[in-house]
Structure 1
Amino acid sequence: MNYAERIARLHARGVGIWDVLAHCERAGSLDSNIVRASEVANDIPGLLAAHASIVAIALNGGRARQSFRRLVLPALEARIARPLSVLELPSTSPANAGMTRAQKRAHWRALLDWSS
């Protein structure tokens, strides 16, 4: 299944995809190379305020978790009063070689509880 097909399949299940970061600087493609001072978060609180049906956020890997906690969570707590679940999941990247694909899949199955 190609990327577009995977995205379409997720959307059909009520799952949206959006990066925590709108912008950052890094050398290469590894998240570990992101320059922390360059990180600019997407307006996730604004997205959630505009779409009250969103009840959960899944974070793909440790860097997304760190950026979300540091840049998004403080603003989120100030703007969103409804309960919101945040799922901190392992990175799906091949660079995350500490887990097998089957182990990653087992963790990511938690999304099934939240999708339509």
Structure 2
Amino acid sequence: MKQVFFLFTILIFSLSFGQNNSSIQGNILDGELFNEPLLMATVSIEDTSKSTHTNFHGMFEFDNLTPGTYNIIVQFLGYETIKLPVTIASGETTKVQASLQAKTLSLIGESNIKITSK
């Protein structure tokens, strides 16, 4: 009888802990190049040490997250950084898709060049 009770207790605990593992999966696209996958973009969760890069297909994934609301930060050299609010439920996988746009740089600025005519 003790063995049955012990097995039943382990089964209940394993089910309750297994449902807390939530995840975020996503796809990052290049908004400047026909929405092609963006390779090696940096994806991180704000205020945590969790960070990853997109793969060859622009995909990323964060596993074993506690249910709640997170801000996903996506960065890539030469592109605007974006922040995506994501809410995940217990035991579920939330999917995210975003496109990055190229940064616009101002080429006109102050200079120390003086033009004189003779």
- TM-score (norm. length: structure 2): 0.23
Q: Of the two structures, which has the highest relative contact order with CA contacts closer than 8 Å and spacing of 6 or more?
A: 2
Structure number with the higher strand fraction is: 2
Structure number with the higher helix fraction is: 1
- TM-score (norm. length: structure 1): 0.23
